[in-house]
Structure 1
Amino acid sequence: MLFWKSITGAICLMICVSGIQAQNYALHSVPTSGLPGATIEATINLETPSPAQGFQFGLIHDSTLLIATLVTEGSALASANAGSGADYFHFELSPIGGTGVVVGAIVSLSPPLESIPVGTHQVAVIQYSLSATAEPGSSSNLTFINTLGSPSVNCVISVGGVSQQPILDHGSLSVETPAPTGVTVTVDDPCTCDATLSWTNGGLYDSIEITRDGATTSHAGTDTSLLISLTDGVAANYEVVGIRNLTASAAGLGSGTCSQTPPSIGPSDLLCTIDHETCTVTMSWTNNDPTYQDLTFSVDGVLVSTLLGTATTTSHILPAELVDFSLEISGSGGCGETMPSISCIMMCLPERFKRGDVNGDSGVDISDAIGTLSYLFQATPSPCLDSIDTNDDGGVDISDAISVLNYIFAGGVEPPAPGPSTCGIDPTVDTLDCPNYNTAVCN
């Protein structure tokens, strides 16, 4: 213990009289805290009403939690002697008499003698390694003691050659609860702004407290996520705190904002066409959003089929002639909302033709009489038997060819309705059919 013999001798050179002024002088161990496994610094402050030239102390700690690894000069000493520090500063990390440290310092050993100024100043910083298995909420007292070392080191402050026994203001080192990390808000459904708050637990927790914009809720200590609901365009701020042994961690911070998906713009530009021969309606339209969930096709308000959201056309056979049908396209937008419908009214007209226009060229002339005879005697196919039935007697025979010739050349009676000039339907119920008449000539 040559160190303590030498420092004791040096201090004795400065001491003429010993006195006790406990209420005027003090050594303060400033309370501190840290996380398991961390390196933590504890500060020692010296309080003096008069300039002080030196000090010494012993400080013990809990060896199950802490290992002292280093002692450095505090700022009051480091700035002394033009920044070169105290002339004499020494410490022991494993002194006899207990688990702790002993520290001694003399500011100046030769003139000009410098001092620690009046007031409270940092004179030492002790570095500890905190056990990785330390339980949050536990603590180690940092207690000044006069029995460490051999010989024992008393806690004193040297002032003007007088050894003052200071007030000993013991401190502590508390074990903090590791904070949650990686607090993240993930928007799961931009349609509803449903989201997930997630985080990583920093250690074992008894419970977790989550605060959103001032409102706090409690959750199981093993939770690592929470389903939440956001408001469109409004930032939500979260604090996630782990609690262990009634000790709250620092808050893990996170925030998130939902940009809600707007309603889809429904289909537009509907075009409806009909093939009157088959009563088939073809519908086509323009989709204005690639995220439609589906499209629906209805007739007179009754659902006929559900289409893919990417469909742009469909067809439907009207079940009856001369009846208006409302054909409607609607569906669900990207968020499942019902979109405005688009529709058209369509009617299938019966087979139309011009009476006597056998060849479908829009006029009635000698070619039509020849066409009738070709059908009768040469088995030439006819697109429309109703047009051959010039006299509208419900049959096709040579009288129809004669009727055409009489009308053309002899001023005979005009063929019955719908007549030779205007397309129309056959008003007479018969067995004749007209599936392939060129209705383009009707326009």
Structure 2
Amino acid sequence: MDTCFRQVFVAVWTVLVLTFPVQAQQSLSITDTNTQGLEALTAIVTLDSDTGTQGYVLAIGFDSSLLNPTEVTVEGTDVESVGAELVVAEILSGGLTLGVVLDAELPYEGQEIPAGSGTSIAVLRFTPSVISTSDITSELQFQDGVFNSPTLDNIIVQGGLSVGANDGLLLIDGTVTISPPPPDSLRIENGSVLADGMSIGDARVLLSNSSGPVQGFVIAVAHGGDELTLQEITLVGTLTEAVGNEFEVTNLYADGGTIGVVLDFQPPFEGQTIPTGTDNHIATYRYSCNGIIYLPDSDLVTPLTPINSYIGDPLLDNVIVVGGLSLSPSLEAGSMTCIAIEPPPEHNTIMTAKIDFEEDTGNYAYHGQTGTLSFCYSDPDDEIQGVTITICYDCDLTIEEGTFSLEGSIVEMVGAEYINHQVDDDCSDGESGEMVLAILLDALPPFEGQTLPPTSEELLLGSIQITVDETAECNVAQEINFCDNINGNGSVMLYNNVVIDYLSVQDFERIGTSIVVVPQEIFQRGDCNSDDKVDLADSATTIASQFSGLPILCADACDANDDGIINLADAVFGMNWLFKFGTAPPDPGPFDDGPDPTEDMLPVCDSDDTGC
């Protein structure tokens, strides 16, 4: 007890004891109380009296290994309503004391506790120090001569005299029963989201904690990765945020997500916790549906399962921290329902990819040949405000980034205000090559509303250069397809869509293309006998083919002067180069294999020199 308060208390007490006569026997009682887990508990001290009481002293012991005292007060008691003028409370190791004088200040109006039974004179508040696994009963005992200095006895003052146990004051102890807490539980509340590929739905995580205030928690929830994408785990709008968490870490995975939270993590360590309660909202998991579901197809329900030792690195368990102890709550799964949406109005949009190489070979190409990949559209009914094109292509093809062109396109004619493309040619990540193209016609003020016009004929949107790699397999189609849910060089998953009346339309026809690598005629100019060198034997072979019917394998190789005709002039041309310093045979020349750069009517070479 504070020294100054103690001196005042003793002085006032002396006046009371010397002034009033002794009255009849009285009793003090502590009510029995109980609690569960670490929930706070309250015990009431009551007075039975046959006459007025001017003051009292309480000295009460308890088992500090089981109970932690938090408050000793007269607030809310009958004494408060009478108007005590001096109240001195002290919490000690293993005990507590309370001294009260009703009339301690001038003008000494004589207020006192009136006679009666069950008059409340003190409130004792505790929290359990342990979480019990079975019922534990402990006593709250009136103890004379144990607590404070000088030590205090339990007494009441009646008629100016103190009445204690030796004077017949009955001291009736109370008990505290600490029961095991009901199981803490962590459950996922069912949520729903429109299955439109864009909307996000919330699933709240609800905690029922009776073990005690929660200092921190870990949550690990799994979901079906094919059906849902976990977009975010947030504390916004939760009790956790309202209490004031100081540390959080989240991790998102393809099939689940984890969050760890500590409420009081930083100085000055003010002890904030999530209070005991039922269905406390402590976190929110936010999901989107991976696919679009149109009516009349049914809604898709995907379980959201809190699960231990399955998600995270390292694998995490669902736990709460109470009183510095890690507890495992019971777990209850929820679900996220992807709600089918009304189908969009039918649109007749057709998006087409086309490939073209020089020399009018269509989609046939040689190794190393570069062609033009074009994108076209037709739609006889709608004005299109924007286009997203997402393309996947074989890894033996290379789209030349930076070569995208609007030349000759309807987009160039209309005047698009936003155009962007990106190419991901890196196949080392296990994906195919990817290209993303975005066109928005009216993106800048004054917003004049330009669109792609309705058309029954295909109109060009734009084109980009594409090259056949040397690794491409001959006579195998290298696919170029419209494909959804790719990210190019970024992290956002994109898909093919057109914008009509400010709505995203994905349900339209898309026609891809392919490139077929074919053998390319290659030869040495002048190598008429196909022995991979040019010498006098080749002139002899040319003459023999003309006058003796000797078969040849490559007519273009025998056409030494590249005039598109095989005759005696080719033999003479070759010998002039060999022996008279004449002009060398034209490309591909007499030294290296190569394609014929000039068109002629000579048959294709029947040799192994084809590049395949």
TM-score in terms of structure 2 length: 0.28
- Structure number with higher relative contact order (C-alpha < 8 Å, ≥ 6 residues apart): 1
Rg comparison, structure with higher value: 1
TM-score in terms of structure 1 length: 0.37
